[in-house]
């Protein structure tokens, strides 16, 4: 199979875009990525999206967005894997280009979560969980994570305040990202005082939903230098793994086995380990997911994810910087778009385009996008072209 | 890229399965296909589905179904392209196996359309159209097709009764298919008397929605003979094309350009023309779509699609048999599953497993699945292994 590189990136600010429809947001990001790549057409479009049907009354986003951005006629589909839809779309595109089906593929993650049509956002988000065995009992998506967090605190003797640094770090980094939804700094004290959402998860444990779109253009690495500004980013690994959707069906709810498998496969493909990773865009939908992901990805021992944060290791100056542009928590979490935002942000870091948040010597970045409470996990390892 | 073959097929009856949930239907079809192939595991699962979120409150079908059929952990996603979702999922799987990403991939098309949760089916189906520029004006999906049919009849001097033979043929063939929803025969006279749905489309111009699932297992052709009963079916071509979603955005609404492009690409890949095709599973969601598809695929001249039917050319004894197991009209149209049903049925014909409906010398079959009113078109050409 062929090596694949990212030759163009684009993103909108994550926000309540009441003046922009879903197709406009997607169009903004796709056209930006195509301009960045210096291409005027493409072979295929892969759209990552979870909720367009329920929230905006529109499915069939592949053809819709392809036409809107001037690519009428090309192959185009929507890919859905709950909050992992964005990276799942990249995974499909990666396979198609690596395998030789296409040369130039556009990936767009897009979600429009304000202005809903058929149901409220909470009804939409819980569709990432098991409708027949979880949601039917009245749990929401946040309350499933709350059960996990409560159990984690009990099992490992961790206090709620121990998670504070995840949020403080995310907001500190969002302050330097013009595309972030929340650029205000947050202190550990504010974290402790935030209002309760689903005990023990409070407002500042939770990422914010929003409207937004992000896009990348990929092509074979062999010709990548001819496009964009010669700053192509190589996809060193792409992997996907799944687990039971219902948390109660897992033998160990506190170990995200799909994270472990997906990360392990990615390390294997790239021929590296967690120590070689210079930054990690983790799926910090809730602080508990950040801790569990750091552990199952091999960055912290079991039960010690939060300690990594307390020790200052996750800041831009730390051993493994995470959420370098604000993460889901502070950049915002337009669910089906998030996985593509993560990849765009790592590309910014590896290209030296991260502005105020630029890491000095980042060479390898890992993006990990999660659907549900760990049921679908897609991991990509990206490398700056030498 | 590698040649790819279908080594296992499975399907449920299309029906109002009030006693089977979406995951059970999918499980029935997937396990049947895996047993047929003689495999116990697979590398990836691609689920084609359009409406699970809106109608059953469940997204995230990839991980959900993978786990349910005993494949917990493997790569799994949902692919959506409106009523073309099933074949779009096969297209993704084909690319992954042809390109070398996976060796054994399972494709499942599934739709559960009775027992709805968040909205009615009509609200769901119109999401295949353009929400901002079509549906917002109150048109339903059937009324968009009615506008096309009325224009077609006006432009080409075709009468409603001229479409009768499409429906008569579909029901005649469904009578021999135990998995078909409507096995009753229908006469041209009954067709003319059926109650009006959206003038000029009446009940018997329209395919029936239903619950159902179909599945196939694919692998590289080089090892296909080692699986199943040695009756593998080769995928000679796979192609996908798109068009504007809103019909009013097309320069010629009566010419399905995505059908033309998709079919042309498929002919090119297979090195054949429409004359070499022995059977055609056409996307007969409405009789007007059948006529338009036959024309843009090269089986009839412009405006002459219905004449092909009147001349008896579409029956099992005719020049180009269509809907050989009942088609969308009489087998039933569980929208996101339909594209996989078409491929399963062609496989039955090419393997000699079509029972009462067996064509004597079928060697090349073409399946064409359409999303929306021609906005996404996926064409596959299948061949019996020599």
Q: Are A349 and A383 in contact (CB under 8 A)?
A: no
Q: Which two tokens stand for residue B142?
A: 């059937």
A83: pLDDT confidence band, cut at 50, 70 and 90?
very high
CB nearest to A127's CB, from B57, B92, B258: B57
User: Which residues 100-119 in chain A show a CB within 8 A of chain B?
Assistant: 100-101, 118-119
Round the average pLDDT of chain B to a whole number and report it.
97
Least confident of A36-50, A220-234, B145-159, B367-381: A220-234
Closest chain B residue to A52, measured at CA:
B127
As a whole number of angstroms, the distance between CA B62 and CA A375 comes to 9
Bond prior to B200 in cis (omega within 30° of 0):
yes
Q: Which two tokens stand for residue B346?
A: 């062609």
User: Nearest CA to CA, how far is B81 from chain A (Å)?
Assistant: 5
DSSP-derived pairing of the beta strands B212-220 and B233-242: unpaired
Q: Which two tokens stand for residue A341?
A: 């935002």
Q: Are A79 and A85 in contact (CB under 8 A)?
A: yes
User: Nearest CA to CA, how far is B348 from chain A (Å)?
Assistant: 28
pLDDT surpassing 90 at residue A115:
no
- What ipTM goes with this model? 0.98
- Radius of gyration, alpha carbons of chain B: 19
Bond prior to A371 in cis (omega within 30° of 0):
no
Percent of chain B surpassing pLDDT 90: 97
Closest CA to A160 of A131, A133, A189: A189
Q: What is the mean pLDDT of residues B351-359?
A: 97
CB nearest to B96's CB, from A63, A99, A261: A99
A82: pLDDT confidence band, cut at 50, 70 and 90?
very high
Assign A378 to helix, strand or coil: strand
In the prediction, which pLDDT does B377 show? Answer: 98
B83: pLDDT confidence band, cut at 50, 70 and 90?
very high
Give the count of alpha carbons within 13 A of A181, CB side only: 21
As a whole number of angstroms, the distance between CA B192 and CA B38 comes to 47
Q: Are A132 and B23 in contact (CB under 8 A)?
A: yes
CB nearest to B58's CB, from A99, A127, A375: A127
Residue among B17, B283, B333, B380 flagged as catalytic: B333
The sign of the CA dihedral B86, B89, B93, B94 is positive
Query: Is B62 near chain A, with CB under 8 Å?
Result: yes
In the prediction, which pLDDT does A230 show? Answer: 82
DSSP-derived pairing of the beta strands B105-111 and B44-48: parallel
- Testing the interface with A: which of B53, B111, B250 to mutate, by most A Cβ within 10 A? B53
Q: Find all residues with CB under 8 Å of B137, minimum gap 6, and list them.
A: none
Round the average pLDDT of chain A to a whole number and report it.
97
Q: What is the mean pLDDT of residues A237-260?
A: 98
- DSSP for A258-315, please give it: HHHHHHHHHHHHHT--GGG-SEEE---SBHHHHHHHHHHTTSS-TT-HHHHHHTTTTS
A386: pLDDT confidence band, cut at 50, 70 and 90?
low
pLDDT surpassing 70 at residue A326:
yes
Percent of chain A surpassing pLDDT 90: 97
In the prediction, which pLDDT does B386 show? Answer: 63
Assign B230 to helix, strand or coil: coil
Closest chain B residue to A57, measured at CA:
B127
- Residue-wise pLDDT for A348-384, tens only, equals 999 999 999 999 999 999 999 999 999 999 999 999 9
As a whole number of angstroms, the distance between CA A149 and CA B11 comes to 41
- B333 is known as an active-site residue: yes
Q: Find all residues with CB under 8 Å of A56, minimum gap 6, and list them.
A: A21, A22, A112, A115, A116, A117, B131
In the prediction, which pLDDT does B155 show? Answer: 98
- Residue-wise pLDDT for B198-249, tens only, equals 999 999 999 999 999 999 999 999 999 999 988 899 999 999 999 999 999 9
Which residues does chain A have within 8 Å of residue B131's beta carbon, measured at their own beta carbons?
Answer: 56-58
Contact B95 A98 (CB under 8 A): no
pTM exceeds 0.80 for this model? yes
């Amino acid at each position: 199979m062929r090596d694949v590189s990212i030759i163009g990136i684009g993103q909108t600010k994550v926000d309540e875009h009441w003046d922009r429809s879903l197709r406009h947001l997607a169009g903004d990001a796709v056209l930006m990525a195509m301009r960045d790549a210096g291409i005027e057409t493409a072979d295929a479009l892969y759209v990552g999206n979870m909720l367009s049907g329920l929230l905006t009354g529109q499915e069939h986003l592949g053809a819709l967005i392809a036409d809107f951005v001037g690519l009428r006629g090309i192959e185009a589909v929507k890919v859905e894997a709950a909050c992992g839809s964005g990276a799942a779309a990249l995974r499909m595109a990666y396979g198609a280009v690596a395998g030789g089906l296409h040369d130039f593929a556009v990936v767009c993650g897009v979600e429009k979560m304000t202005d809903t049509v058929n149901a409220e956002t909470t009804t939409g988000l819980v569709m990432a969980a098991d409708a027949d065995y979880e949601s039917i009992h009245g749990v929401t998506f946040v309350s499933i994570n709350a059960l996990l967090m409560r159990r984690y605190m009990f099992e490992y003797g961790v206090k709620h305040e121990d998670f504070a640094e995840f949020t403080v770090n995310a907001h500190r980094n969002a302050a330097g990202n013009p595309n972030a939804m929340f650029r205000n700094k947050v202190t550990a004290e504010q974290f402790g005082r935030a209002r309760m959402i689903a005990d023990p998860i409070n407002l500042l444990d939770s990422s914010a939903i929003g409207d937004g779109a992000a896009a990348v253009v990929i092509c074979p690495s062999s010709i990548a230098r001819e496009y964009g500004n010669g700053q192509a980013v190589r996809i060193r690994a792409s992997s996907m793994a799944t687990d039971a959707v219902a948390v109660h069906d897992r033998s160990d709810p506190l170990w995200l086995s799909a994270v472990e498998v997906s990360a392990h496969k990615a390390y294997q493909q790239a021929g590296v380990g967690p120590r070689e990773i210079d930054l990690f865009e983790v799926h910090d939908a809730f602080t508990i997911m950040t801790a569990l992901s750091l552990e199952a990805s091999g960055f912290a021992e079991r039960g010690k994810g939060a300690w990594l944060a307390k020790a200052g290791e996750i800041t831009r100056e730390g051993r493994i910087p995470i959420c370098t542009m604000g993460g889901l928590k502070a950049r915002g979490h337009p669910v089906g778009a998030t996985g593509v935002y993560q990849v765009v942000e790592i590309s910014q870091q590896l290209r030296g385009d991260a502005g105020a948040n630029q890491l000095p010597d980042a060479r390898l970045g890992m993006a990990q996008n999660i659907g549900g409470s760990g049921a679908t996990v897609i991991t990509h390892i990206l490398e700056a072209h030498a």
